[in-house]
């Protein structure tokens, strides 16, 4: 087993800190809107779809949550009228989740606070060159851990 050298350990510890602590900051920014970071992610991912609809399985993979966790999140979002779920007419084995107009409005309402928090804790701390380097680095890492993820 190979150990990490000091520079690698420092980098790894910093990356883990960001991965662990930034979602909490994002949860805090969304709390006033009645959303968690995971709930925001689900409506955000749906909004990025051309049709505003994705299969629940695809959505679970994209949002990196288990299917059972996604079902609980989706139930809360559905109760609030922000998404709807229905069987896929092309294949009833699948369930489709769709963003509603109310869900789109909710996303538009809370996205500015979400992005302001991302900017405060990430982009305001980096030069444009560093941000570009971080984008290239994280894209390389993302493709390694999930080859299906591609830049938009």
Domains of the chain: 28-121 (1.10.10.10)
Confidence of residue 150 (pLDDT cuts 50, 70, 90): low
Q: Tell me which residue of 30, 32, 113 sits closest to 42, measured CA to CA.
A: 30
Tokens 């420092």 belong to 10
Q: How far apart are CA 93 and CA 21, in angstroms?
A: 37
Residues whose CB is less than 8 angstroms from the CB of residue 29 and which lie 6 or more positions away in sequence, other chains included: 113, 114, 116, 117
- Looking at every residue in the chain, the average pLDDT score rounds to 92
- Is the predicted pLDDT of residue 57 greater than 60, yes or no? yes
Cβ neighbors of 1 (< 8 A, separation 6 or more) are none
pLDDT tens profile 81-132: 999 999 999 998 999 999 999 999 999 999 999 999 999 999 999 999 999 9
Q: Residue 152: is its pLDDT beyond 60? A: no
The pTM of the full predicted model, rounded to 2 decimals, is 0.86
pLDDT score for 118: 96
CA distance 95 to 92: 7
DSSP SS3 for 4: coil
For residues 21-42, give the mean pLDDT: 94
The first and second tokens of residue 100, run together, are 């509603």
Q: Does the pLDDT at position 1 exceed 60?
A: no
β-sheet bridge partners, residue 83: 99
Do strands 91-99 and 53-55 pair parallel, antiparallel, or not at all (unpaired)?
antiparallel
């Amino acid at each position: 087993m190979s150990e990490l050298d000091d520079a690698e350990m420092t980098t790894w510890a910093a990356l883990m800190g960001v991965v662990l602590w930034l979602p909490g900051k994002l949860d805090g920014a969304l709390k006033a809107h009645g959303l968690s970071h995971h709930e925001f992610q689900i409506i955000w991912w749906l909004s990025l779809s051309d049709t505003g609809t994705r299969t629940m399985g695809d959505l679970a993979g994209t949002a990196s949550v288990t299917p059972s966790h996604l079902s609980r999140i989706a139930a809360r979002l559905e109760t609030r009228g922000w998404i709807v779920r229905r069987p896929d007419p092309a294949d009833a084995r699948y369930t489709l989740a769709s963003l509603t107009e109310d869900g789109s409005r909710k996303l538009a309402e809370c996205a500015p606070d979400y992005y302001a928090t991302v900017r405060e804790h990430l982009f305001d701390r980096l030069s444009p060159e560093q941000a570009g380097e971080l984008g290239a680095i994280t894209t390389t890492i993302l493709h390694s851990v999930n080859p299906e993820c591609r830049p938009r």
